[in-house]
Amino acid sequence: MNETNKESSVDWSSLIIAVVGGDAREREIARLAASTGARVRAFGFPWPEGGIAGVEKMETASAALEGAHFALFPIPGMGLDGSLFGTETIIPDRELLSVLQPGAHIILGTPDEGLKQAADSLGLGLHEYESDKELMLMRMPAIVEGALKLAIENTDRTLHESEVCVVGYGNIGAMLTRVLVLLGAKVTMAARKPVARADARNVGARTTHTDDLEAIAPKLDILFSTVPTRIVTPCVLDKLPPHALVMDLSAPPGGVDLDYAKKIDLPAIWARGLGKRAPVTVGASQWKGISERIQTILKGD
């Protein structure tokens, strides 16, 4: 018997769980969900050649969601077109969600307004865990490792001694700043809040206000943006050296004007889904948070 079953009074075997969308992390989530004894259906993420023990691969999102008590959507969230992050185009609109069990619950990172409205109109529970700080901190190392991997692959300079700016000092920005400092990069952290800048100085970074990005842009080799608000504007991008790499680590709508970066031939990457670099580790941490949410929901706490 697994640890979840030992600690929970939930009858997992009575549940139908649909895992829809995502990447290799959702494979691990589906596997762990099935290990509880729940009936698990899946669609929209890369399917392994040998299958997943206890998990049914469905041909459509609707078939996976049919009669499910819980729908698990991916944490990277949704595209600007309202689709779920995954291998297939899946729009979780009212028609698609209507096949769920009445009163079912949807668990995901962050929904858009369309999903919120569809869930509300059907009386479905909607549970976000993008704001779950413990869960976010557990997956931060994989995201930072993924960002560093992309930076190394897309520049011809070492991170050591490079002039790097990290925009934003939330969970990702804070860890990325600390790691870059330890690697010997010359790090400037840009944030609006004085307390964030003070904390970044304590770990060895220089700091500036986000309003001053244009002033520091000409000396940068790499700029990482972690803020999901359009802060890295064309004015900032125009001031960067031609070799500078720009990486947007934020959720939609993103913090970098990537269309403009492309227009001026500036190397730019929207680095979404970086947690997939370590899908077993990150999938397990996400399932821990999801399973606890399911238990809380069913207990009515």
Q: State mean pLDDT over 206-227.
A: 97
- Residue 2 — pLDDT band, cuts 50, 70, 90? very low
Average pLDDT of the chain to the nearest whole number: 91
* Per-residue confidence band for 10, with pLDDT thresholds at 50, 70 and 90: confident
Q: Quick one: tokens of 13? A: 């075997």
Packed helices 279-299 and 24-35: angle between N→C axes, nearest 10 degrees: 50
pLDDT at site 16:
98
Q: What percent of the chain has pLDDT over 90?
A: 72
Question: Does the structure show a pLDDT above 70 at 80?
Answer: yes
CATH topology of domain 155-266: Rossmann fold (3.40.50)
Cβ atoms within 10 Å, residue 239: 16
Residue 128 has pLDDT above 50, yes or no: yes
Amino acid at 27: R
Under 8 Å between Cβ of 42 and 23 = no
SS3 at position 41: strand
Helix, strand and coil percent figures for the chain, each rounded to 5: 45, 15, 40
Q: Which of 20-34, 71-85, 182-196, 228-242 is predicted least confidently?
A: 71-85
Domain ranges of the chain: 3-133+278-299, 155-266
Short-list 143, 177, 116, 170, CA closest to 286: 143
Give per-residue pLDDT as tens, 166-212.
999 988 899 999 999 999 999 999 999 999 999 999 999 999 999 99
Given the candidates 3.40.50.720, 3.40.50.970, 3.30.470.30, 3.40.50.410, the CATH classification of the domain at 3-133+278-299 is: 3.40.50.720
- Give the model confidence (pLDDT) of 38-47 as tens digits: 999 999 999 9
Mean pLDDT of 253-257: 88
**155-266: same fold as 3-133+278-299?**
yes
Six token digits for residue 165: 């700016």
The H or E element containing residue 109 is none
Q: What angle do CA 258, 260, 265 make, to 5 degrees?
A: 95
112 vs 296: CA distance, rounded Å: 24
Average pLDDT of 94-122?
95
